[in-house]
């Protein structure tokens, strides 16, 4: 048996970052920037006003106060998006709106609240002059050209994961297309004579194929593109035909057929079509795992053979397929968010494997609590539906007592949903 870490290290050694592609900006959310991005403009492009008010020469209003205002002549008005034609000179002012470029000659903006504009309006006086009630330092309420981004500077580094704020920064530079790492295509194949497609009626002795759907959803959730290959029957010919359809994928994920049963032919087919290693991983659930390279035409495609039990396949996906997808996407942080919580239940770990127990985590008085979500059998898929985390019981830990502090790998964490 090998450890979870050894298995993961091996899986990761077979996958690499994929090539860049140009994507429309709105498709780049959550993706990894493939090149450094420099700006060829200043942002803001021109000095502009941070307030609605009057653009003035600071020197004209030195020493003014509400009791001794200075009256300036209004020579124009400028809104955001326009350039003032007039020039501010000593004794004059231009009415200016937030975001409007600072007119020539002005070096400060006095906000409306520090003028007598309200009073003049109330008295129905025409706005030909304005009383300034407060003095202003040079530069007051001015946002300088290039103060956010200066032309020629490095704005975002290759490797950055694009969040809404980076999308905004790219848009502010006028980039409508963004170089990002391509998404991996992940072929998903279910195997088993007992499986029926969810569109069909359910005959006696059969079960619906649920793994394809939970696994494909996991692929999508972590940024891959699922390619559904359907169901392969438990015979070598059927399986080979299906597996060949994974030819243009970046990763093949199969479920079931990797244990020691007579009909577990996945391992035989894989051995024929490539190099494969079978592992028993020291974890529960999810012990049997196949991993290798499939030789399809000229390509060698990494293949992860997950166990068939619905809970096992999902948990093994989280531990091994998720990091592989993240690595191909160019991401660097593969660890799932993990928290410390107090266990609300007792748990025994008899066979010294790493246990991933399904729990519901809640927070009370600033402390996390983890409650086991009922039967923990690896076929009980509703336990996954009730859980929002996986309590990790280390290999050498034989019991977890009520109230003991445990690590919980969170299945749901805001940034992933």
Residue (of 318, 354, 336) closest to 11 by Cα position: 318
Q: Which of 20, 30, 184, 257 forms a contact with ligand AMP (CB under 6 A)? A: 257
Q: Are 184 and 250 in contact (CB under 8 A)?
A: yes
Residue 57 CA to residue 63 CA, distance in Å, equals 13
Residue 99 CA to residue 177 CA, distance in Å, equals 26
Out of Mg ion, ligand AMP, none, what residue 259 binds, judged by CB under 5 to 8 A for its kind, is ligand AMP
- Residues 111/112/115/117 CA torsion (nearest 10 deg): 160
- Specify the residue, 313 or 409, whose C-beta has the smaller distance to Mg ion: 313
Q: Which stretch binds ligand AMP (CB under 6 A): 45-53, 140-148, 181-189, 305-313?
A: 305-313
Residue 305 CA to residue 326 CA, distance in Å, equals 18
Residue (of 242, 220, 380) closest to 315 by Cα position: 380
Q: Which stretch binds Mg ion (CB under 5 A): 9-17, 255-263, 310-318, 339-347?
A: 255-263
- Specify the residue, 224 or 308, whose C-beta has the smaller distance to ligand AMP: 308
Q: Which of 57, 211, 218, 343 forms a contact with ligand AMP (CB under 6 A)? A: 211
Exposed / middle / buried, residue 66 (Cβ in 10 Å: 0-12, 13-18, 19+): exposed
Q: Which of 48, 107, 114, 209 forms a contact with ligand AMP (CB under 6 A)? A: 209
265 forms part of the interface with Mg ion (CB under 5 A): no
Q: Which of 136, 162, 186, 195 forms a contact with ligand AMP (CB under 6 A)? A: 195
239 forms part of the interface with ligand AMP (CB under 6 A): no
Of all residues in the shown chain, the one whose CB is closest to ligand AMP is 308
192 forms part of the interface with Mg ion (CB under 5 A): yes
Q: Which stretch binds Mg ion (CB under 5 A): 16-24, 191-199, 269-277, 297-305?
A: 191-199
Exposed / middle / buried, residue 375 (Cβ in 10 Å: 0-12, 13-18, 19+): exposed
Q: Is residue 282 helix, strand or coil?
A: coil
256 forms part of the interface with Mg ion (CB under 5 A): yes
Q: Which residues of 223-248 are buried (b: 16+ CB within 10 A; e: fewer)?
A: bbbbbebebbbbeeebbeebbebbee
- Binding map of ligand AMP across residues 212-231, x = CB under 6 A, - = no contact: x-------------------
In the complex, the residues that contact Mg ion under the rule CB under 5 A are 192, 256
In the complex, the residues that contact ligand AMP under the rule CB under 6 A are 190, 192, 194-195, 207, 209-212, 255-257, 259, 261, 264, 307-310, 379
């Amino acid at each position: 048996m090998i450890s979870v870490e050894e298995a993961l290290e091996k899986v990761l050694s077979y996958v690499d970052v994929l090539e860049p592609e140009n994507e429309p900006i709105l498709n780049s959310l959550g993706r990894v920037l493939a090149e450094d991005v420099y700006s060829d403009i200043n942002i803001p492009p021109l000095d502009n006003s941070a307030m609605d008010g009057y653009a003035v020469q600071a020197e004209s209003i030195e020493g003014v106060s509400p009791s001794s205002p200075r009256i300036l002549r209004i020579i124009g008005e400028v809104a955001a998006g326009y350039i003032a034609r007039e020039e501010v000179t000593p004794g004059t002012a231009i009415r200016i709106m937030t975001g409007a470029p600072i007119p020539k000659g002005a070096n400060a903006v006095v906000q409306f609240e520090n003028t007598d504009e309200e009073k003049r309006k109330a008295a129905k006086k025409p706005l030909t002059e304005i009383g300034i009630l407060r003095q202003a330092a040079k530069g007051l309420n001015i946002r300088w050209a290039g103060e956010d981004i200066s032309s020629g500077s490095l704005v975002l580094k290759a490797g950055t994961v694009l969040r809404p704020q980076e999308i905004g920064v790219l848009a502010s530079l006028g980039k409508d297309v963004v170089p990002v790492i391509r998404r991996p295509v992940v072929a998903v194949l279910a195997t088993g004579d007992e499986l029926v497609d969810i569109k069909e009626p359910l005959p006696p002795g059969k079960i619906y194929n649920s793994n394809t759907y939970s696994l494909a959803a996991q692929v999508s959730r972590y940024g891959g593109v699922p390619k559904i290959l359907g169901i392969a029957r438990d015979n070598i010919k059927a399986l080979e035909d299906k597996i060949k359809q994974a030819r243009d994928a970046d990763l093949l994920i199969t479920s079931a057929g990797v244990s020691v049963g007579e009909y577990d032919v996945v391992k035989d087919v894989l051995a024929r079509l490539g190099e494969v290693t079978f592992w028993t991983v020291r974890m529960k659930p999810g012990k049997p795992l196949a991993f290798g390279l499939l030789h399809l035409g000229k390509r060698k495609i990494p293949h992860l053979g997950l166990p068939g039990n619905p809970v096992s396949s999902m948990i093994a996906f989280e531990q091994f397929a998720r990091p592989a997808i993240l690595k191909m996407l160019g991401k660097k942080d593969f660890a799932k968010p993990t928290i410390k919580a107090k266990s609300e239940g007792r748990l025994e770990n008899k066979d010294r494997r790493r246990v991933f127990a399904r729990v519901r985590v809640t927070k009370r008085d600033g402390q996390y609590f983890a409650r086991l979500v009922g039967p923990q059998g690896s076929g009980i898929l509703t336990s996954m539906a009730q859980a929002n985390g996986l309590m990790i019981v280390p290999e050498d830990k034989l019991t977890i007592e009520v109230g003991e502090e445990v690590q919980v790998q969170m299945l749901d964490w805001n940034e992933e949903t």
